[in-house]
Amino acid sequence: MPTWFQTTAIDYPNSRPHIGTAFEKLGADVQARYRRMEGYDVFFLMGNDENTAKVSRQAARLGLDPQTYCNDMARQFRSVWDALDISYDVFIQTSSERHKQCCRKFIQKVYDNGYIYKGSYEGWYCPECEEFKTQKQYDDSGGLCPNHRLALVRRTEPCYYFKLSAFQDRLLQHYQQHPDFIQPESRRNEIISLIQTEGLRDVNISRLGEDWGIRIPFDPEFTIYVWFDALLTYITGIGYGDDESTFRKYWPADVHFIGKDITRFHCALWPAMLWAAGEQAPRRVFAHGFVYVKNEESGVVEKISKSLGNVIEPMEVISKFSSEAFRYYFLRECPYPSDGEFSWSRFAEVYNAELANNLGNLLSRCVNLIVKNYEGVLSWAEGPLPQAVVASGELPEFVERVRQQVESFHYHLALQAILRELLTPTNQYLEAQAPWKLVRTDAAAAAQVLGRAVESLRVAAILLKPFLPRTAATLYHSFDFTEPWEQVRYATAAQPPVSGRQRRVIAPLQDGKLKPLFPRIDLSEANLHT
RNA sequence: GGCGGGGUAGCUCAGCGGUUAGAGCAGUCGCUUCAUAAGCGAUGUGUCGUGGGUUCGAUUCCCACCCCCGCUACCA
């Protein structure tokens, strides 16, 4: 059984996740679900990045000790991920004792291998934030802290450096030999040009005088600074340091899903850290885009931020509509490798046009026609078995196209194909054949027509399974397809169903009718703005 | 400033040397009524960012300029 190990970025628990954070997890979840379907032994890792000064300060503000605060935030994060049906296997908290121990083993190893040395770091420091600011931040804000508007001071402190510079050539060579290591390609080009034009400097991986965090084993006055701790969840989460066999089974990771803003840490620093400890680099890093919020009144597209007051929490959308609608919107409307936008009006448009009118209504019309005219059972004793209606070419080729899009993380294109090449053509086919008329003169022919529509729904259910796990199951279980739902894979969609000559509606009915799969959203009722 | 990507219908985008520049959504008009007031069909006078140039011919190639976005090192 092939393994598939994937991770998402671990999040700072300074505040609860917003829709942008969820976008990343969603894209990762589709991949995890797809790989499970296809027979991989999947390990899907997520977690929170807790060992930061900001976390301990936020906890202090709330009068909590950091651990209590972190545990509570972790619980809140997980409840959001659960509500979205994110199918992670393990959720790591970096404040956990296990992570800390494994982390210390790693850094000790890198130290023993000679890639860590003591030096001093000089930079612009904000005493209020208790952290260093970048030169760019200094320049942009005229030497003031962007948060506190206090003058930044020049500060020097002893620290430990990781010899990132030693891996420059090896990294470039690695990118050369593994062209799809960094995706999408635009990010790859950025990283390569960064290294080629500016080179890599050694990085400070320690902090002095922090209570909260992981002590450096060879000098306990220091704690490990974020990246050198956070990135390690990707291996401590699968047993690095205390469960060698699990670690060897899953490492190297098949893909790290991250935001485009942290590409460099994952594509340069992380492989170098691993090499310094004698481990392999991950196979692939996928940097997705961001979600922006379109202001409903002004039409201005804004970055999601607390100060702009435009933060939308996933639970807000889920409780108004559903997790499936949430998943569909972001997977369909926001191209995973690029940026996307959210607005309530666009949400309603996409939902109505595609989920309610196209998919949901197709199921309704099929089920109701079969129930009314055939007492819920279609049979076709003679002739060819009904085939799904696809726009062009053969069904297997269509399924293959969708598969390609899923495997390359182009989820919006996969969903677009399902819609345009399968569902819409099926609606068109019904219109052209008009089985509601045909049944009066030739019931057998009408049964063939409906059989083809039902076949389209079967194919759609299977292809949609990674995207909309609940909807896909409901669709599939509306009919008596005999292949067990747990065992279907993409290849199943391309083959005719095992049970050939009869198809029964088994969807629950109310007063002889099917309850809408996705009830339309009425914009005029607009309870959208909270 | 440097490097990279982009500016095409109201919106999101495809096209990237050649007949009258395309798709989806939204809008408008029909048809239909099996279905969630759903479905189907028809419907666009768009300076293809601006100005030059190459060419028989440019949205598509070259140059300049304007505008937007990303990266430019320790800020998920």
Average pLDDT for residues A230-246, to the nearest whole number? 95
Nucleotide nearest to A262 (CA to C1'): B76
Nucleotide nearest to A429 (CA to C1'): B40
Residue A97's contacts (CB-CB under 8 Å, 6 or more residues apart) are none
Question: Alpha carbon of A48 to those of A16, A280, A285: distances in Å?
Answer: 11, 24, 19
DSSP-derived secondary structure letter, A421: I
Pull the structure tokens for residue A437: 């008329």
Give the confidence band of A529 by pLDDT, cuts at 50, 70, 90. Answer: very low
Chain A residues 283-302 within 7 Å (CB) of strand B: 290
Chain A residues 437-456 within 7 Å (CB) of strand B: 437
Residue at minimum CA to C1' distance from nucleotide B2 = A197
Task: Answer for A229: CB within 7 Å of strand B.
Answer: no
Chain A residues 188-217 within 7 Å (CB) of strand B: 189-190, 193-194, 197-204
Give the confidence band of A519 by pLDDT, cuts at 50, 70, 90. Answer: very high
Pull the structure tokens for residue A109: 């190893």
| Residue recorded with tokens 């020049």 | A154
Query: According to the model, what pLDDT value does residue A525 have?
Result: 56
Average pLDDT for residues A91-111, to the nearest whole number? 95
Nucleotide nearest to A436 (CA to C1'): B34
Task: Answer for A365: CB within 7 Å of strand B.
Answer: yes
Query: According to the model, what pLDDT value does residue A295 have?
Result: 80
Count CA atoms within 13 Å of residue A369 on its CB side. Answer: 24
Query: According to the model, what pLDDT value does residue A302 have?
Result: 83
Q: For A121-135, A253-267, A485-499, A516-530, which range has the lowest pLDDT when averaged over its residues?
A: A516-530
Mean pLDDT: which of A131-135, A223-227, A280-284, A347-351 is highest?
A280-284
Nucleotide nearest to A304 (CA to C1'): B76
Query: According to the model, what pLDDT value does residue A350 have?
Result: 92
Straight-line distance from CA A293 to C1' B22, in Å?
29
| Residue recorded with tokens 């840490």 | A265
Q: In the predicted model, is pLDDT for residue A34 greater than 80?
A: yes
Give the confidence band of A530 by pLDDT, cuts at 50, 70, 90. Answer: very low
Straight-line distance from CA A291 to C1' B52, in Å?
39
Q: For A1-15, A298-312, A354-368, which range has the lowest pLDDT when averaged over its residues?
A: A298-312
| Residue recorded with tokens 């679900």 | A33
pLDDT tens per residue across span A431-471: 999 999 999 999 999 999 999 999 999 999 999 999 999 99
Query: According to the model, what pLDDT value does residue A298 have?
Result: 74
Task: Answer for A413: CB within 7 Å of strand B.
Answer: no
Task: Answer for A431: CB within 7 Å of strand B.
Answer: yes
Residue at minimum CA to C1' distance from nucleotide B38 = A357
Task: Answer for A3: CB within 7 Å of strand B.
Answer: no
Q: For A21-25, A382-386, A512-516, which range has the lowest pLDDT when averaged over its residues?
A: A382-386
Count CA atoms within 13 Å of residue A49 on its CB side. Answer: 20
**Cα separation of A352 and A344, whole Å?**
12
Straight-line distance from CA A289 to C1' B69, in Å?
12
**Cα separation of A253 and A249, whole Å?**
10
Task: Answer for A396: CB within 7 Å of strand B.
Answer: no
Between A163 and A210, whose confidence is greater?
A163
Q: What range defines the domain where residue A376 resides?
A: 356-525
Task: Answer for A159: CB within 7 Å of strand B.
Answer: no
Q: In the predicted model, is pLDDT for residue A406 greater than 90?
A: yes
Task: Answer for A428: CB within 7 Å of strand B.
Answer: yes
Classify residue A121: in a domain, yes or no.
no
Pull the structure tokens for residue A505: 């509606």
Classify residue A473: in a domain, yes or no.
yes
**Cα separation of A42 and A29, whole Å?**
11
Pull the structure tokens for residue A412: 């919006």
Task: Answer for A475: CB within 7 Å of strand B.
Answer: no
Nucleotide nearest to A196 (CA to C1'): B3
Straight-line distance from CA A517 to C1' B17, in Å?
49
Please say whether the beta carbons of A71 and A32 come within 8 A.
no
Query: According to the model, what pLDDT value does residue A524 have?
Result: 61
SS3 of A157, please? Answer: strand
Please say whether the beta carbons of A429 and A452 come within 8 A.
yes
Please say whether the beta carbons of A336 and A343 come within 8 A.
no
Q: In the predicted model, is pLDDT for residue A528 greater than 50?
A: no
Please say whether the beta carbons of A163 and A116 come within 8 A.
yes
Task: Answer for A272: CB within 7 Å of strand B.
Answer: no
Classify residue A159: in a domain, yes or no.
no
Straight-line distance from CA A194 to C1' B55, in Å?
39
Nucleotides of B under 7 A from a protein CB: 2-5, 12-13, 23-26, 33-41, 70-76
Q: In the predicted model, is pLDDT for residue A526 greater than 90?
A: no
The residue ranges of DSSP E strands in A163-304, in sequence order, are 182-183, 203-204, 206-208, 222-224, 255-259, 285-288, 291-294, 301-303
Residue A120 is inside which H or E element, if any? strand A116-126
Q: In the predicted model, is pLDDT for residue A175 greater than 50?
A: yes
**Cα separation of A376 and A371, whole Å?**
4
Tell me whether the omega of the peptide bond preceding residue A184 falls within 30 degrees of 0, making it cis: yes
Q: Is A332 left (phi over 0), alpha (psi -120 to 50) or beta?
A: alpha
**Cα separation of A465 and A456, whole Å?**
14
Task: Answer for A21: CB within 7 Å of strand B.
Answer: yes
Classify residue A385: in a domain, yes or no.
yes
Classify residue A157: in a domain, yes or no.
no
Task: Answer for A388: CB within 7 Å of strand B.
Answer: no
Nucleotide nearest to A129 (CA to C1'): B75
Query: According to the model, what pLDDT value does residue A297 have?
Result: 73
Classify residue A484: in a domain, yes or no.
yes
Pull the structure tokens for residue A254: 């098949």
Give me the amino acid identity at A253. Answer: A
pLDDT above 90 covers what percent of chain A?
A: 75
Straight-line distance from CA A419 to C1' B40, in Å?
16
Query: According to the model, what pLDDT value does residue A523 have?
Result: 64
Q: In the predicted model, is pLDDT for residue A392 greater than 90?
A: no
Pull the structure tokens for residue A167: 């891996």
Classify residue A368: in a domain, yes or no.
yes
Please say whether the beta carbons of A127 and A153 come within 8 A.
yes
Pull the structure tokens for residue A386: 């009904």
Give me the amino acid identity at A441. Answer: T
pLDDT above 70 covers what percent of chain A?
A: 98
**Mean model confidence pLDDT for chain A:** 91
Chain A residues 50-79 within 7 Å (CB) of strand B: 52, 54
Average pLDDT for residues A64-70, to the nearest whole number? 94
Q: In the predicted model, is pLDDT for residue A109 greater than 70?
A: yes
Give the confidence band of A296 by pLDDT, cuts at 50, 70, 90. Answer: confident
Query: According to the model, what pLDDT value does residue A75 have?
Result: 97
Question: A462: domain CATH number?
Answer: 1.10.730.10
Query: According to the model, what pLDDT value does residue A90 have?
Result: 96
pLDDT tens per residue across span A341-362: 898 888 999 999 999 999 999 9
**Cα separation of A518 and A130, whole Å?**
50
Please say whether the beta carbons of A175 and A168 come within 8 A.
no
| Residue recorded with tokens 């959308």 | A317
Nucleotide nearest to A203 (CA to C1'): B74
pLDDT tens per residue across span A120-170: 988 888 877 777 887 777 777 777 776 677 788 888 889 999 999 999 999
Classify residue A388: in a domain, yes or no.
yes
Structural domain count of chain A: 1
Q: In the predicted model, is pLDDT for residue A503 greater than 90?
A: yes
